[in-house]
Amino acid sequence: MGLAVTRDPRFDILFEPVRIGPLVAKNRFYQVPHCNGMGYARPRAHAAMRGVKAEGGWAVVSTEEVEIHPSSDISPYIEGRLWDDRDIPALALMTEAIHKYGALAAIELVHAGMSASNLYSREASIAPSHIANPASYAPAQARSMTKADIRSYRRWHRAAALRARRAGFNIVYVYAGHSLSLAMHFLQSRHNHRSDEYGGSLVNRARLLRELIEDTKEAVGADCAVAVRFAVDELRGTDGISADSEGREVIAMLAELPDLWDVNVSDWSNDSKTSRFAAEGYQEEFVRFVKQLTTKPVVGVGRFTSPDAMVSQIRRGVLDMIGAARPSIADPFLPKKIENGDIDDIRECIGCNVCVTGDHTMTPIRCTQNPTMGEEWRKGWHPEVIPPRTGEDSFLVIGAGPSGLECARLLGRRGYTVHLAEAGEQPGGRVTRESRLPGLAAWARVRDYRLNQLNKMQNVEILRGSRVTADEVVEFGATRVVIATGSHWRRDGIGRANCRPIRGFDTKRTVFTPDDLMDGAPVVGPVAVFDDDHYYLGAVLAEKLRLTGLRVTLVTPADRVSAWTVNTLEQHTIQKRLLELGVEVFVNRNIVEFSRSEILLECTYTGRQTAIQAAAVVTATSRLPNDEVALSLDAMPEAVDAARIVSIASIGDCHAPSTIAAAVYAGYRYAREFDRPPGDEVAFQRELTDIRAP
Ligand code: ADP
Ligand code: SF4
């Protein structure tokens, strides 16, 4: 962080304390619950990650969903777990880490009802009525709860609240959000078909939620605050809860019962919309009514990274506390930076949802903007504190994409002398190019944060318009060379579905790569986009071409458009957008040949072939590293020795093409670890299973 220590008085309001039931939050920054792929399985990593948030100034730091009972087993996903007393010590690690910095610890108690697979516990799932989970194709159903089941559930929830207090939590949640909890399933008329006092009218459907709030207050309310997380709108019109009918009525009915309302939209993909589909503050239109109906503090989210936007939410009476999951992941020190007047140093979330992929892949959370996220314990990385240099090395970093920029930033912060050579006039590499595509403008924040930091450093020089050759590297005089020259898209069609070139792809002038399109190549229609990459780019390019009025077809060997984006919660929205734009979509189709203005498609199941008309093909299949400099240096060991170069390393896409997040991580990792003694040991701490008696 910079040297400024005075905060702009217009942000003072963000640092006012807020009373929450029996407690006081020290400011208005509230880290709402978020998943992280650590949960019960990696408690030390989890505790350290939350501790860093508290250190960064958040007044409240929450867990993710915490399962309260084996019949709410969300496996294979890794969330929090509080099934019995033996789960208390792991969660206490986290509350200790949070309390150390004067923050309040919140726990989101969850019974997931029909959303729980119970694959580990092998219990039957429970629901208001007999129902198959609409979010899963699993051949299992949830059974309708009897009155005795409802009484048991209330007892489990109460017991979990008491355990939560013993684990040191200050705020205990009753969760009715994201269509992921029993309390919400009871509220939803489409899921609640009961004819007893828990079904039918909204008063009846809300009975369970009311009872849970009352039970929790009665159990722990003397010293803990009781929060309700409630989805006021499901964005499905009259078929669901909506802010202008039942969402509003529930708040009106229970207005003063909890100590805090944490309100949002449902489901998770609507709540955590990416920047491609929603702007900062996008939930305001749904949640702004809540404060008019309650005197209790109201928390809401909206990917807030701008302090002015936050102040505006408070001043206009929309929210009392600024809720954040993703902005707190991208910059755990966001509150501290605003408090210290270091607005320039905020690492703004780009809204890409790479953080969500950790939960979906059951691996520790990662973040495009913050490479230390998830590494706080296992590698001891800290988002702001970096060890100083350990020697007199000087660095030549070649390529100013996300990887080279991050590497230079961190080496610079450590105090090394760094030259960052970039072939083009504009730094940023792929993020600069991709940020010009429809919906991806926020990608540029990856570049802008780093450039801004680099511009403040006397010891780092950026050499623009400098395409470096191997000969120039040995003449340059740096002791260490880092190659971050990126990658380029293949033209031959080789990717996942094709291990050999596609006939006609490498010979025709009408076959374009994503690089060609980003360089402004003129494409004529009708055009087919072949997406064997399965992340966002194929669909974004189809959208771009369609927006210019061309006839566009998207062909993919997967069973859906942008298949991997199920992990970023975007898949449904992406496919919907293409269909609405009039892009014709062929799924489960490979391309066999491109000839005479025709593309031969092959069904991935039957092998049956059909032809479609196309004057051009855009092929997004896989990439090749730009490894010319690395290979040339490898071939001239004597010259390298004579130049007294101690090490040459390739990082990011020129090492192995991957995500922007992986490139940033590689840049950080190199700068952080290049001076560690080499060895074959595992590069991080692990949480090994304790095999002593249970
Ligand atoms: P990464 O994602 O690994 O950071 P990018 O492709 O985004 O990779 O960025 C690589 C950058 O390296 C681009 O800006 C490109 O212009 C630059 N570059 C490639 N080759 C050279 C070279 N020989 N000298 C200097 N810069 C280069
Ligand atoms: Fe934001 Fe992307 Fe980081 Fe998630 S991964 S916090 S969306 S920058």
Gap from CA of 443 to ligand 2 centroid (Å): 10
Got the DSSP string for 394-438? EEEEE--SHHHHHHHHHHHHHT-EEEEE-SSSS--HHHHHHTTST
Interval 96-124 mean pLDDT: 97
Q: Within 10 A of 363 (CB to CB), how many other CB atoms are there?
A: 15
> What percent of the chain is modeled with pLDDT above 90?
96
User: Which atom in ligand 2 lies closest to the alpha carbon of residue 326?
Assistant: 6
Task: Find tokens 């799924």 and name the residue.
Answer: 587
Residue 634: C-alpha distances to residues 471, 611, 631 (Å): 12, 46, 5
Gap from CA of 632 to ligand 1 centroid (Å): 16
Secondary structure percentages of the chain, helix, strand, coil, to 5: 35, 20, 45
Gap from CA of 59 to ligand 2 centroid (Å): 21
Alpha-carbon gap, residue 556 to 565, rounded angstroms: 14
- Amino acid 1: pLDDT: 47
Encode pLDDT of 454-499 as tens digits: 999 999 999 999 999 999 999 999 999 999 999 999 999 999 999 9
- Amino acid 7: pLDDT: 87
Alpha-carbon gap, residue 540 to 522, rounded angstroms: 17
Interval 317-325 mean pLDDT: 98
Interval 70-99 mean pLDDT: 98
Per the document, the length of the chain is 694
Interval 343-363 mean pLDDT: 97
Tell me the best of 368, 422, 633, 653 to mutate to test the pocket of ligand 1, counting ligand atoms within 8 Å of each CB and taking the most. Answer: 422
Nearest ligand to the CA atom of 329 = 2
Cβ-contact 653, 403 below 8 angstroms: yes
Got the DSSP string for 542-611? HHHHHHTT--EEEE-SSSSTTGGGGGGT-HHHHHHHHHHHT-EEE-SEEEEEEETTEEEEEETTT--EEE
Cα angle 658, 663, 669 (rounded to 5 degrees) comes to: 130
Residue type, 631: L
690 in catalytic set: no
- Per-residue pLDDT for 2 more than 60? no
| C-alpha 3, offset from chain centre | 30
Cβ-contact 621, 627 below 8 angstroms: no
Q: How confident is the model at residue 678 (pLDDT cuts 50, 70, 90)?
A: confident
- Per-residue pLDDT for 177 more than 90? yes
Cβ-contact 16, 58 below 8 angstroms: no
Encode pLDDT of 516-564 as tens digits: 999 999 999 899 999 999 999 999 999 999 999 999 999 999 999 999 9
486 lines ligand 1 (CB under 6 A): yes
Tell me how far apart the 2 most distant CA atoms of the chain are, in Å: 86
175 in catalytic set: yes
- Per-residue pLDDT for 502 more than 70? yes
Cβ-contact 219, 158 below 8 angstroms: yes
**Active-site choice (87, 233, 259, 271):** 271
352 in catalytic set: no
Half-sphere exposure of 686 toward its Cβ, with a 13 Å CA cutoff?
A: 7
Encode pLDDT of 554-599 as tens digits: 999 999 999 999 999 999 999 999 999 999 999 999 999 999 789 9
Q: What is the DSSP letter of 501?
A: P
Q: Which of 519, 494, 531 is nearest to 618 (CA)?
A: 531
The mean pLDDT value of the chain amounts to: 97
Tell me the best of 485, 515, 518, 628 to mutate to test the pocket of ligand 1, counting ligand atoms within 8 Å of each CB and taking the most. Answer: 485
625 lines ligand 1 (CB under 6 A): no
- Per-residue pLDDT for 4 more than 70? no
**Active-site choice (111, 178, 419, 534):** 178
Got the DSSP string for 243-282? TTTHHHHHHHHHTTSSSEEEEEESSHHHHT--TTT--TTT
198 in catalytic set: no
Q: How would you label 68-104 residue by residue, b for 16+ Cβ within 10 Å and e otherwise? A: bbbbbbbeebbbbbbbeeebeebbbbbbebbbebebb
404 lines ligand 1 (CB under 6 A): yes
Cα angle 616, 618, 623 (rounded to 5 degrees) comes to: 150
Nearest ligand to the CA atom of 486 = 1
- Amino acid 506: pLDDT: 79
481 lines ligand 1 (CB under 6 A): no
Lowest pLDDT segment from 112-121, 235-244, 581-590, 685-694: 685-694
Q: Which pair of structure tokens corresponds to residue 449?
A: 């944060």
User: Which atom in ligand 2 lies closest to the alpha carbon of residue 445?
Assistant: 8
Interval 690-694 mean pLDDT: 80
- Amino acid 304: pLDDT: 97
Nearest ligand to the CA atom of 429 = 1
Query: pTM value?
Result: 0.97
Q: How confident is the model at residue 5 (pLDDT cuts 50, 70, 90)?
A: low
Interval 333-343 mean pLDDT: 97
| Residue 22 dihedral angles phi and psi, to the nearest 5° | -80, 5
The protein residue whose alpha carbon is closest to atom 6 in ligand 2 is 326
Alpha-carbon gap, residue 410 to 415, rounded angstroms: 9
- Per-residue pLDDT for 3 more than 60? no
Encode pLDDT of 200-250 as tens digits: 999 999 999 999 999 999 999 999 999 999 999 999 999 999 999 999 999
Q: How confident is the model at residue 509 (pLDDT cuts 50, 70, 90)?
A: confident
Interval 416-430 mean pLDDT: 98
Tell me how far apart the terminal alpha carbons of the chain are, to the nearest angstrom.
Answer: 46
Question: What residues flank ligand 2, with Cβ below 6 Å?
Answer: 326, 329-330, 349-355, 367-369
Half-sphere exposure of 453 toward its Cβ, with a 13 Å CA cutoff?
A: 20
Nearest ligand to the CA atom of 515 = 1
How are strands ordered across the β-sheet holding 394-398? 460-463, 417-421, 394-398, 480-483, 647-650
The protein residue whose alpha carbon is closest to atom 1 in ligand 2 is 349
| C-alpha 151, offset from chain centre | 37
* Residues whose CB is less than 8 angstroms from the CB of residue 587 and which lie 6 or more positions away in sequence, other chains included: 556, 558, 559, 560, 561
User: Which atom in ligand 2 lies closest to the alpha carbon of residue 272?
Assistant: 7
Q: Which of 474, 418, 481 is nearest to 643 (CA)?
A: 474
650 lines ligand 1 (CB under 6 A): no
Residue 345: C-alpha distances to residues 293, 330, 333, 451, 453 (Å): 37, 12, 10, 11, 7
**Active-site choice (35, 355, 367, 407):** 35
430 lines ligand 1 (CB under 6 A): yes
The protein residue whose alpha carbon is closest to atom 3 in ligand 2 is 367
Nearest ligand to the CA atom of 662 = 1
Q: What is the DSSP letter of 189?
A: T
